[in-house]
Amino acid sequence: MPGNGKRVPLCPRNPGVPLCPWHHERVDADLTLAEAAQVLRPPMTEKQLIMVVAALNLPPSGVRHTGRDGRPRRTYPWADLSRLHAALLPWLQG
C-alpha cells in the first residue's frame, strides 16, 4: 500500500501506475499463440507455445478469422496461457 512506507513497484510501460502482480490473470480474453508470444515476459516464441500446448493437449477456446485465406487461428484463454507460462518460468530462465 502506498501509505505504509513500502515502495510500490511501478508498471514499466505506464510510469506512475502501480504494478499489480496478478493483473495478467484478471484479463478475460482469448489470444492466438502468436499474440501470446508477443505479450509474455520473459518471451517465448510462437513455436515454443505451439509445442507446449500440443504436448499438454490444451483445447482451444475458439477460433479467430484473420481476414486472409486459409484456416482461422485457434485462440486460448489468456489466464490459462499466463498460468502455463508461470509454471514454465524456471526452465525459461535457467
| Prediction pTM value | 0.69
In sequence order, what are the beta bridge partners of 30? 77
SS3 state at 64? strand
**What is the rounded CA–CA span in Å between residue 20 and residue 9?**
8
Longest dimension (CA), the chain: 56
* pLDDT, mean of each 10-residue run, the chain (94 residues): 56 59 62 93 92 95 90 93 90 77
